[in-house]
Amino acid sequence: MLKVTNLLETIGSPQDLRDCDPGQLPQLAHDLREYILKSVAKTGGHLSSNLGTVELSLALHYVLNTPEDRIIWDVGHQSYAHKILTGRREGMASLRQFNGISGFPRRSESEFDAFGTAHSSTSISAALGMAVAAKTKGEDRTVVAVIGDGSMSAGMAFEAMNNAGVRKDVPLIVILNDNEMSISPAVGALNRYFAKLISSSAYAVTKRGLDRVLSYAPPLREFAKRLEGHAKGMVGPATIFEEFGFDYYGPIDGHDIHALVATLENINKLAKTEGPQFLHIVTKKGKGYDRAEADPIAYHGPSPFNIEAGIQPSKPSKQTFTQVFGKWLCDMAAADERLIGITPAMREGSGLVEFERRFPERYHDVGIAEQHAVTFAAGIACDGLKPVVAIYSTFLQRGYDQLVHDVALQNLPVVFAIDRAGMVGADGATHAGAFDIAYLRCLPNMLVMTPANARECRDMLTTGFTFDGPSAIRYPRGSGQGPDAGTSLEAMAIGKGQVERSIQGNPAKRIAFICFGPMLYTAMEVAEAIDATVVNMRFVKPLDEELLKSIASSHDGIVFVEDSCVMGGAGSACLEYLAEQDIQVSALQIGLPDQFTEHGDIPSLMELYGISAKQIEARVRTRFAIEACTTAP
């Protein structure tokens, strides 16, 4: 267990925090920040964002009556201080590990986690829903949504603001945690004083009184409102938020714990009487750790590291699928000037750093706006260019209607490079790409490909780029087995699979593994043990129907293997086709079960879901009554 200070050791719950003297809060913030740094250095996890929200977490739990009052952390990767303050300090040793605590808020983990998050821009909608529910039930409760400046770029945040601004009867507070915008000059003593002043009850009473008096003289009332807006505008961008119906305060220094507490106390009172309030705070990613302050991107989600030495360059290893994509994108852009690269705020995660450097005029980061990213690509495709959308599997879910209506329906040549397919490890269910095969293969006009290795990934990206219609290449996080990517820009034959292993002897039961994606290599291991055929199907849509029929007619049983959900997955697509052809076959489907995946290391998760090589072999032997002594010659 990490060593903690005596003061931090006394905080087992928010009530313990509220018993502290206000003068102790700065020291507690220092100790809490040190604890987070040491903890993440041991386990890995999100660091920069969490170092930036220490004072905010303290202030919220100090002022609010949590868990009765609700705090919703948008995205949620900045909630470590919140977790520590709500009884999970010791649990940080198991952060993001199998059977450990989640790296994001999770309702089943704690009553203080009011809403499960990990995708952005959901907080205001959920907070408004909770505030309306409290109002409906006659409960006195404040609901706070903490949202980052990046998350504010998503349309959902503004949809929620538009809805919330007219509800003057609900105690809702939106806190914009701004750690990117260049508004440093507005953060200072004068601004701190002004924010505290205009959030005070005296200011609110005076404002209401003036509104009543000036209502008898509309021109003067309008002039007074303009004057107030101008005064606020001198210290912060109030206009847009007040046009949505919120009372705006800030920006204030998000690391000034006393200013935060004083302002939140005032705004909490106002929310109960005046309705939605908007507080704009300015924080610094990586606050308190020089290396993270200097490079918050590198320290966004590091693996375990040495605090004194910092993150050290790793030894060259096998290319990850993300790196394969990034290299292909640059090579194809050099070969074809029609290529346009698009990402919804995932430049680093999706491997577009080098592409932006080399082809800045063809690089478009649209912000956290997945719906817009898809339709933006559709518009580009309409005019003859070739857009490539680099997006995570679970993030594409957010743009699904646009994928259906704006891309597939119009049969537009948009390439979707889908990263983080299958299990993702420590990030867990919110980021696991379990459903992409199921939600893609049902769409007319879609070409859906599942590379088993780096070389196939590169070839399939080229195939999708040359295809005259929408295409999707889904690949996992990290690196895999098999050959390296190479440098070819050759397309594959569409809808053609390949037999990777044939039965060598004369087993009692002739079994074939039909594989989609990287699970091919797990199946190969099992096939060697039981002497089975292994087929790399490569394409989910269109299927290699002739190969599938041939395998079904020449084997006693088929095992469909994929790293996605079994329900509606690639195996289901094969069985649908065989049923349509009235081909009877004994089959077993191997993949992710009908449940959301947990977080943890991949080997542990494979064991949990029964898809390790050893477990697959046992399941196949049981299903097809193969004796344990059966071996390949």
Query: What residues act catalytically?
Result: 285, 370, 398
Pairing of strands 586-592, 539-541: unpaired
What is the phi/psi pair of residue 207, to 5°? -60, -45
Look at residue 72 and give its three-state secondary structure. Answer: strand
Number of H helices, E strands in the chain: 26, 17
CA dihedral 152, 420, 460, 328 (to 10 degrees): 70
With residues binned 3-state (H G I as helix, E B as strand, rest as coil), the percentages for the chain, rounded to 5, are 45, 15, 40
CA dihedral 49, 52, 54, 60 (to 10 degrees): -90
Residue listed under structure tokens 């705070």:
281
Nearest-angstrom CA–CA distance, 400 and 387: 17
Contact 556, 426 (CB under 8 A): no
The DSSP annotation for 12-41 comes to SSHHHHHTS-GGGHHHHHHHHHHHHHHHHH
Sheet with 533-536, side-by-side order of all strands? 498-501, 533-536, 511-516, 557-565, 586-592
Nearest-angstrom CA–CA distance, 534 and 528: 10
Contact 124, 174 (CB under 8 A): yes
Nearest-angstrom CA–CA distance, 346 and 41: 24
What is the phi/psi pair of residue 610, to 5°? 70, 30
Contact 173, 265 (CB under 8 A): no
Alpha helices in 544-610 (DSSP H): 545-554, 570-580, 602-608
List all residues 6 or more positions away from 280 whose beta carbon is below 8 Å from its beta carbon.
Answer: 175, 176, 178, 236, 237, 241, 248, 249, 250, 251, 252
Which of 387, 366, 538 is closest to 448 using CA atoms? 538
Q: Which helix (DSSP H) or strand (DSSP E) does residue 592 occupy?
A: strand 586-592
What is the phi/psi pair of residue 17, to 5°? -65, -45
